[in-house]
Structures are given as structure tokens and as C-alpha cells.
Structure 1
Amino acid sequence: MDDASLIRKFMEADMQLTSDALDTLRRREDTESVAARVLVNLREMESRPFLVTADLITKILEGESAKTGAVPTVHPPKPSLPEAGEAPGAREITEKLPELTRTKFKPRAGEFEPRVKVLKDVTGRSYTEGELKDFVNVFKDRYERLSSILRKRVDFHDAIPISNLRRFDDRALVKVIGMVSDKRETSGGHVVLEIEDLNGRASAWVFKGRRELMRKAAEVVVDEVVGIVGDVRSGDRAPRLFVRDIVWPDLPTTHEFSRAEDPVCAALISDLHVGSEMFLEDAFMRFVNWLRGGVGNAKQRELAGRVKYLVIAGDIVDGVGVYPQQEEELLISDIIKQYDAAAKLLAQVPEHITIIIAPGNHDAVRPTEPQPAIQKDIAGGLYDLNSVMVGNPVWVSLHGVNFLVYHGRSFDDLIATMPGLNRQKSTPPMVKLLQKRHLAPVYGGRTAISPEQQDYLVIEEVPDVFHCGHMHVYGYERYRDVEVVNSGTFQEKTIFMRRLGVNPTPGIVPIIDLQTRQARVIHFA
């Protein structure tokens, strides 16, 4: 029996074989009769699965062996994944998932009502016409809000307008706040930053002999807002500053963070890429089964029972025409059908869990950020779930804990621009965005910006949890009392990832305890 016939046989029964399941059937000498027996067992199930995984087929066949007295096949254990991201600290615990359990499951999270409040989202509020004045207004809004954050710093209360520089004597020490309009290196190896505020422009010179300053200058990107401490150089036609320090808006060193009153948790995932041949259905279904209490030791099942929220930070589906040669790796080439498949998968998440769904750059939304929620006419099945459909980025309160959820497209521009960043460490770019207090500081790169009435990408408040994806590499760290989490992926390495040198860490799910703020990490792949 060929592959097409096998796949068709299951599709006729309203079920879909995963690639691993197909391999499992192929390895059997009596493929056709085994497939028939599996289908009989599946049809007898009370809750018939949409996706048929290799694990499910193995359990069915082993169950048959036990009934007939035959000796079941013993499969060698899978090797443990290497630990992803930074080494686990006091607030992060990583663990593997043990085998199937049969004990009764009573999720504690089901005792509590969901408390979801969308705090800031462009969905339903996008009024831009894309004209020049709209771009001017959004950059003006960016400058005003970020300069206001800088002025709240004790050391920048006395910052002056750039237009006042001419009033100062030569070598007077001043502080200014400006948006970087250009950055260049001179033939002598010095760095010149062209900065401007609402009323003036100046050149800020960083000399190559100042090592720490040169390191800071290397991290400055065009279109961000920074504070400059420097000496005035008088006598020039245009004001110049000899820089002594560069300051970013950054987060306060400490702040009062929120905790949930109830013992509930949030599971954070992203980059499912349903529709791709590389989508790891088995690992994802193992995760869903864990949420249902079907696998795990006593402590892990207790944790699963406290999961009240599932937050998805974009790329629910693989999309169509997103990267070169993508069509070679698509299992489902119709975007609507990709969302239908995703909805059927997510429909198996327990009903007491509220799913927060934000889009990413592979989803069927406009490419410019901020992105509104995925529309109902494209992904109607997602709206039928116990879900809250939101845009990218979104600020959302879950049980009183404030989340900033952003897919992370701007990481591409940041990594290409700033030294020291790479695609295998996913949290350092996130920390840089927190320091710059903006989710996409570089304009004109791969991250297209929509000129809304306000800049939705400014990080004006301090989040409790900053959750991103896009990198396909799991990472976790704590920066100034903010949980910084990149939730990795459920997709294996694609052709495009190979070109970029990305080694994904799939099937790793961080769980944030909203009451204790501790992170636990479980490996499902």
C-alpha cells in the first residue's frame, strides 16, 4: 500500500496521519492490515482524534498485543534533550515528561473563573491612512513618550532641548535627549550619532579611544531615543557634542510586580507552524495530553491542573509564500485549511483553560506592525474555542499579572544591527528591547511599521512577563523583576532555518506560576 493510499484511508475517516505515524505504519510488513486494525480501534474511541500520531498507533498495537498474549515490542528510550537556554536557576526548573498515567485527574484551575483583561491592542483601533503626516506623527509620539521616560530618571531631570545648545559656552557639560536619525563611522574610526528632538539637531561624537563608550555606541540603532551626556563644542555651524555617556530609557532597577491571588499558571508557547511537514504533531499532542492530565508524574500532573491560561505568541500556522521554497515543506497548502487543522488541535485543550492567541509574521494578517488579531473569516475555528483573539503586540492581564506578548519579528533587524546578538540565544535581544523601551526600534528593515495614531510598540509600562517567539529557540531569564521568556517552537528545522544557521529547540514549554512567579519547563519532544 503506497503512502497516498494510506493517507487517503485515514482522511476518509476524518482523521489525518502525522509524518511520524506514517513512518510507523510503513515499517510494518503488514501495513494494510495494521492500518485497518488501527482505524477500527480509533472509530471505537469516545473522543475520536483528528490527528493520528505515532504514539497513538503504538499504544493501540501494544494494547492489542496485551489482549492476545503476544509479547509487545520494546522501544529504546528517547535520549534526553540537552538543556535549552541558560542553566536552570532558583526560579526555573526544567524536567522531562514520564510515561502515560491512568489515575483520576481533577484540575484545580477549573475551580477559578478566568480573569482576562486586554489592556492595549491595535485590533479594532487601526485608523491610519499611511500618509506622510501619519509617519511624522507616530515618530513624534515615539519621541515624546520615550523622552518622558528618560526625563523621569534622576540623572536626566535637567536635560535641555537640543536647540538650546548654542547658548552654552565651549566645553560646558550638558544632557540632551534625542532620536538617532543617522549613525556613521569616520575615516579615523570615531562614531558620529546624528540626533534630533522636536526643535533641533546636533552631532554627537564618540571617540575611538573611549572603549566603554565605543561599546555603547555600537549598540545604538537608528530611530531609537537615547540620552546623551557630553561637552558642547562651540564655534561650529551646527551644534556638536563630545560624548561622555549614552543612556537608554531602560526599566527601573526594581519595581513592584503583580502576583495572582489564586494558585493558577500560564503555559507559554509559540511558532506551532501547523500545515508544515516539520510541525511536530506528536510533541504537541503530548503537550495537550499533559494539559488533560494524561501524562506526567504526580507533581507534573498537579502543575498541569493549575494551568488556567495558554498564551500563543504567534505563527499558529506556517502560512503560504512566506519564505523561499516553503511550498516544498507544506503538508497543507491552503491557508484556510491550515487554520482549520490548528483549530481542531487546539479544540482538545481542556475547556477550563483560556487560550490567548496572537498572530506572527507567518499568520494571515497584515505584515506591518502592530498587527490586528487574525480575522474570523480566515480562522473561524479559532473563534469557536475558549479563546481571546488579540493583536501583536498585546498587553494583557491574566489573573492580575501583566503580560507583554510580542511575536518578535524585529529580532531579525536587531541581530543584524547589534554586535553580540545571535539566533541561538533568544533572550538577549528581548532584554535589549526592554532597555530601549521599544519593540521595533529600527525603522526600514525587515519589520514594517504601520503609522498609527500612537506608537503601539513603545514599552511605556513595565510588564511582569515579557513573552516572545519567532527565534524557535527556548530561552528564559529574569531582568529587573521581569520574566523574560522565549517559548521556542513546535517545528523542526526547515530549509530556511538551515540557511540562517538556526538550531531549533522544539517541544519545550515554560509554565509560569502566576502566584509565585516561578518558571517550570517541561520537555515534550
Structure 2
Amino acid sequence: MLDAQEITHRFLDTKLQVHPEVVRYILENNEPDLIERIIAGVPKDTIVVSAKYIPGIHPTRDGTRFLIDPSVEVVSGSAGTSGCVNGTSDYLHYFRDRYARLGGMIRSRVGAMPIEGLIRSTRYRQEECTVIGMVAEVKNTTNGHRIAEIEDSSASISVLFRKDLPVFADAQRIIYDEVIGVKGKLSNDGRLFFAEQLYRPDIRIDNTPFRSEQPGKAVFISDVHVGSNTFLEGAWNRFADWLSDSDFGYLLIAGDLVDGIGIYPNQESELTIKNIYEQYDAFGAMLSELPSRMKIIASPGNHDVVRGAEPQPVIPDAFTKKFPANCTLVENPAVVNLQGVRVLMYHGRSIDDMIGLIPGASYEQSGLMMEEMLIRRHLAPAYGRRTPIAAGKTDRLIIDPLPEILHTGHVHIKGITNYRGVLGINAGTWQSQTLFQKQMNVNPTPALAVVVDLQTLVPETFSFA
């Protein structure tokens, strides 16, 4: 049986002072091996070992002890699952998978018939019916109407959305390669389908998100950009101190961990760390200074040292040697389970494409862009644009299963939304305005963190600027 003096001397042997709360806890639990586990987990520059370094135990701000045991399950996007493109045949599988799964979501709510059956039979001329297809082309006509060509595995057809009908407002937001259902009537010559109603995969109105039965809080950030001369080191240090004085169990980082090398022209002139390995070493050192009790989940973005095509693989081991053991690396996108609450992490590069395709959209509306993803049940609907996609045999960018939280980044501007029970979070960035952003008139919202209570799913934003 240990006594207080023996415990104190063991810490002093390693040049560490120990807080009485720690001594008391070890005595109460009679765990001699806990001393060695605590010593192994404290950062090298630690002077006083406080209760925050006890595995599974952390003091809250009112001084009481709070027992936590954060656990993370990677539902999808674990290391090695992104795969590679094996040839043009994968593209066929990819789009068939997209159509079948998203079309199935629509079909579960409305009955539909194959396009070929519609156009080949005179029975359906001027008779109301529904078809489901992937958008191959969409444009406005000279008369101001909207026309889209949609196709399924059997045939294709042109669909007209008249500007004088209510369906036209929804039709204005149709983008390439999304899957839609259309209710309407076929023209007498069988060449044009007149739309009366538009369906998308969407989320059911009665969707009820899961809430954790146990206490737990998660912190959401993205776009740290370590290595850039606009990285806000002072704000990050305030954030790190704040985490050390908290009872949060999870930290989720949605991409662009570092600024990278050669991402854009003349980037080298804006870097304080010009070696990519050293950028990740610096980021790893920053994570190591955070409480070891926290579970950290990090995914890549377009500035990170992985392929640009999505889904992106995890950051390779060669770059993460200084990352702490409590950090879990996942792909982009990935779904992680926090106490039963599912979080879909996606860096958000496709927001660039959606802003260019959806009327009225802007970088200041990152919350709206997350809603548009959820409505289409797809993270990057438009294929072959600014967002490179590695087409595999399955479409990993489909939003299925439905998460409780969608966590994005990329645009550097905070956005929070709640669409049909799904909480959308974009926490902004840890980088001040870059020269490129200034030229584009993009005003970032830096040094923010969003905290979500897993029992209520209520978000709260904290600033460290």
C-alpha cells in the first residue's frame, strides 16, 4: 500500500512536482501503476503534474472531479479505405452506384417509372407520372425557362421547368450530376417532359437526431494552416490554454492542418516553414501540448500532403511521427461516432463549385452550402469541376448514413446551420486574411472554435482572436 510521501518522491525522481489532488486520487484508487502512466503522458516541459494529466479524470472549472472516457469509432474513412482508380470501368460503377443509391432515396417516397418506358409508350402522353434521373445538362432557355436533361440506366429525356410555375424556384438550383425526381407530363411528341414538381433525396422532415446519453462535449475547428506567415500562433496558444482548463473530450479538425508546399503560385514567399515535414512536425508538437485525455480526430484538406482527388487518404505515417498517441487520423470524408453521435467530417472543397452553380450563393453562406449538400445527400454533386474526384466502384461522397453533425471547413468563414435535425458546422480558420483572399474580397472569420454538447447537440462559439 502506497503512502503520500512515496507517491510524491516518485514524481520528484523524474523532476516533477505533483498536485495534492493527484496524490489523493492515486491513494483513493490504490493503483501503483497509475503513477508510471501519468509520468509517461505528461509533456516534457511540465513542472507541476495536475489532475488534468490523470487518464480519464479531469477537474471542471468549479474544482469538482469529472469522470470522462471519450471513445471514437471510425464508421467510415479509416486508413486505407479510399482506394485507387483502376480504369475507366470504375467510372461506370461510380455513377451507377450514385444513381442507384440516391435514386433509391427518392423512390422510397414517390413511385417512379424508367425513362425508356415513359418515352416509348404512347399510353403516358399527357398523363401525370414521375421519373428519376441524373442531371446530364442544365441551362436557361432564351424565354427564361429552365431545361435539364436527365438520364437513368435506360434512356434520357429533356425536362422543362416553366418560369410561371412554383417548381421553377427549385429548378434554378439544379446542378450538374445531382440525382432528382420529376413529376409531370410528357409532350404529345414524346420529346419533352413538362415538370410540375421536383424531388431530391433530401432528409425526411421528421428526422430525429440521436443524442448521447452520457455527458460529453466536442470541439470543432478546421484550416489551421501551420507554416503560413498568416497562421495565428498567439490565438492558437490561447485556444490550447483554454482546452487545458476545460472538460471537453473531443477535438475534431476538418482539414488543411498545414499550409503545404506549392499549393498556389508564389506560396513560398508566404511561408514561415518551407519544409513540408517540418510543417507537420510543428503541427504535431502543437497537438502534443493539448490535454492527453482528449481524443483528437484529424482529416486532410486540399493543402495537405495527400492526393487532391476526393476521397483523400489519411496523412501518411512519414509526416505524422510527432503526432500524439491520442490523435486518430481519418480520410476526407469520414464518419466518426462520438458516444453514439455520428459526425460526418468533410473538408468542403466542393463549396467552390456549388457557389459557382447555385444562384445567389457566396462564401459568406457556408451554412447554406451545407444545407445544399444535405438536400442532395451528396458532398460534391457536380463532377469534373474544381473539385477532383477519384471515381471508385462506390461513391464515397454520398451522405449515407445520415449524420447528426456535418463538419466542414475550406472557406475560412464561420457558418452554423440546423437543417431537418442535422447540425452543420464550419468554424472558420486559424489563419488571417491571405493576399489571395484580399484580392478575392474574402474576409475570413479566424480563431474560432465551436463546442457542441453531445447530449443536446446545441453549438456554442468561442473566439480566441
Cα distance in 1, alignment partners of residues 322 and 425 from structure 2 = 28
Pairing 1:160–2:113 present? yes
Identify the residue that residue 182 of structure 1 maps to in structure 2. 137
1:485-500 equivalences under 5 Å are: 485-500=425-440
Q: Where does 1:318-357 land on structure 2 (aligned, <5 Å)?
A: 318-357=259-298
Contact conserved, 1:128 with 1:453, CA < 8 A, in 2? no
TM-score by length of 1: 0.75
Per the alignment, in what secondary structure is the counterpart of residue 363 of structure 2? coil
- C-alpha contact (below 8 Å) 1:127/1:453 kept by paired residues: no
* 1:504 positional shift: 0.6
d(CA) in 1 for partners of 2:330, 2:280 = 16
User: Structure 1 residues 317, 418: CA separation in 2 closer, same or farther (over 3 Å shift)?
Assistant: same
1:106 and 1:317 map into 2 onto residues whose CA distance is 37
Alpha carbons of 1:357 and 1:169: their partners in 2 closer, same or farther (altered >3 Å)?
closer
Distance (whole Å) between structure 1 residues aligned to residue 45 and residue 390 of structure 2: 48
Q: Cα deviation per residue 1:376-405 (whole Å; 9 max; x = unaligned)?
A: 1122222x3311110000011011110011
Residue 213 of structure 1 corresponds to 167
Q: Secondary structure at the match of 2:180?
A: strand
Answer whether contact 1:228 1:243 (CA < 8 A) is retained: yes
8 Å CA contact retained: 1:123, 1:371:
no
Q: How many residues align?
A: 408
1:40-91 alpha-carbon deviations (Å, 9 max, x no partner): xxxxx9449xxxxxxxxxxxxxxxxxxxxxxxxxxxxxxxxxxxxxxxxxxx
- Of 212-221 and 359-368, more deviation after overlay is shown by 212-221
Structure-1 residue corresponding to 2:98: 142
Aligned with residue 362 of structure 1, among 280, 291, 303: 303
Partner Cα distance (2:100, 2:128) in 1: 23
- In the TM superposition, what is the alpha-carbon distance from 1:497 to its structure 2 partner? 1.0
State how far apart, in whole Å, the 2-side matches of 1:216 and 1:126 are.
33
Letter in 1 for 2:219: A
The residue aligned with 1:258 is: 210
- Is contact 1:204–1:243 with CA below 8 Å preserved after alignment? yes
Aligned to 2:75: 119
Partner Cα separation in structure 2 for residue 424 and residue 326 of structure 1: 24
CA RMSD of aligned residues (A): 1.8
Quote the Cα distance in structure 2 between the aligned partners of 1:516 and 1:216: 32
| Unaligned ranges ≥5, structure 1 | 1-44, 49-102, 294-303
Within a 5 Å distance, the mapping from 1:86-97 to structure 2 comes to: none
Shift of the 353–376 alpha-carbon distance from structure 1 to 2, 3 Å rule, reads same
Structure 1 position 104, deviation (Å): 8.5
Q: Counterparts of 2:126 and 2:438 in 1: how far apart (Å)? A: 52
Deviation of 1:325 (Å): 2.7
Match of 2:363 in 1: 423
Instruction: Give the alignment partner of residue 482 of structure 1, picking from 406, 419, 422.
Output: 422
Whole-angstrom CA distance in 1 between matches of 2:261 and 2:65 = 38
Residue 374 of structure 2 corresponds to 434
Identity percentage of aligned residues: 39
TM-score after normalising by structure 2? 0.85
Q: Measure how far apart 1:106 and its partner are.
A: 6.4
- 2:351 corresponds to which of 399, 408, 411: 411
Structure 1 residues 46 and 205: CA distance shift in structure 2, 3 A? closer
Matched, 1:228 2:182: yes
Paired with 1:275 and 1:204, the residues of 2 have a C-alpha distance of 50
* Residues 30-49 of structure 1: pairs in structure 2 closer than 5 A: 46-47=45-46
Once the two structures are TM-superposed, the CA of residue 185 in structure 1 deviates from its matched residue by: 2.5
Residue aligned with 1:397, SS: strand
